[in-house]
Structure 1
């Protein structure tokens, strides 16, 4: 067999193979689009508090529920000298005591009545040896304040007149004098223990207002109208103090008892 027929047979085989490949269907490529999957986020939970944290939370709630603490009442709040003696715009009112009848103390007559003050016009209010009364004269009494002049330690105690403060508290030098009835060896010029004020005579009351009358009007057990004005009067509760506060309502009521609320000023 010659080489030419073999060559033709080979070419025919290659041609047949090529034709069969061309007749096979072509595969189509497909693309797949992936959509993101959305889902609701999982709830975030806080970890449970430890036992110590729970205790702290309960204590905080208790503190919030506690009512506000009440203000403490100090001794100064309870002192009668801190009582409201006047309005914020007017003078303060006081009651000062003196003995109108003769009494000898350390060889000296300590008598001093409303008539003695009228004769002197102005007098120092010395001889006070009570710390509460001293504090009133030292810290509370001001120029222009008015005072009921009270007759004390006598047969008929009561209010006889009105005086005015004309000098504020200063050292009571009578305590330094060994010859004075109210000498105090524990008081000296470097460290004065006692104080006094100066008062001026204003007038006598149109009528004498006795302690007995004030006690009667201030008796709350009988349900009288005046008791509202005098029920808390310092004179009726702790009468022994020689210098004491008077409330405006008490001052006005007592002046009404003399028949003239304003009264006249004697000179």
Structure 2
């Protein structure tokens, strides 16, 4: 089993939105970064754990847990000229972009803000999320980091 962190802007698609979808599942479409695409296409497996992260909001942070719920497949939004993720260079016979389904698991007991995660930089050394300048929307999380982050949800926030 592998672990991932997947970012979404809550104004675009929130963890609560995922909860309300049929079967609490949604295709993770619109990824247009080759490194993130490669992880989705080549490394993600059904059952892998996901830290669902809200970005570009007042308090960015990990808000819930999800899991990978499908094998990777071509991202259909790349072929639809009416979709905001349309890519005119993408070809259905040789797809450039891929997606997986993500399924809701549970909310965290409390949001784990990015600022707090950065306060644990020593324990989370190597976690791409806290690396300066990292903007990937999909990133791997080691089992050790996964366990450490989930351990933080039961502790009191330093801000009380």
Deviation at 1:239, TM superposition (A): 2.9
Distance in 2 between the 1:177 and 1:119 partners? 25
Deviation at 1:136, TM superposition (A): 0.3
Match for residue 236 of structure 1?
Answer: 130
Deviation at 1:178, TM superposition (A): 0.8
Match for residue 177 of structure 1?
Answer: 80
Unaligned 5+ runs, structure 2: 156-160
Match for residue 112 of structure 1?
Answer: 13
TM-score, normalisation: structure 2: 0.92
Match for residue 119 of structure 2?
Answer: 216
CA contact (8 A) 1:92 1:145 kept: yes
Task: Note the 1:1-267 alignment, pairs <5 A.
Answer: 91-101=1-11, 111-120=12-21, 121-218=24-121, 227=122, 229-237=123-131, 239-259=134-154
CA contact (8 A) 1:150 1:158 kept: yes
State the SS of the aligned residue for 1:204: strand
TM-score, normalisation: structure 1: 0.56
CA contact (8 A) 1:122 1:198 kept: yes
Distance in 1 between the 2:68 and 2:126 partners? 24
Q: Which has the higher contact order (CA 8 A, sep 6+)?
A: 2
Distance in 2 between the 1:172 and 1:115 partners? 23
For this pair of structures, how many residues does the alignment match?
152
Distance in 2 between the 1:239 and 1:161 partners? 21
Deviation at 1:232, TM superposition (A): 1.2
Larger Rg: 1
Deviation at 1:153, TM superposition (A): 1.5
Superposed structure 1 runs of 4+ greater than 4 Å apart:
none
| Superimposed CA distance per residue, residues 176-209 of structure 1 (whole angstroms, 9 cap, x where no aligned partner) | 1111111100002111110000011000000000
Larger % of helix: which? 1
Distance in 2 between the 1:231 and 1:166 partners? 29
State the SS of the aligned residue for 1:167: coil
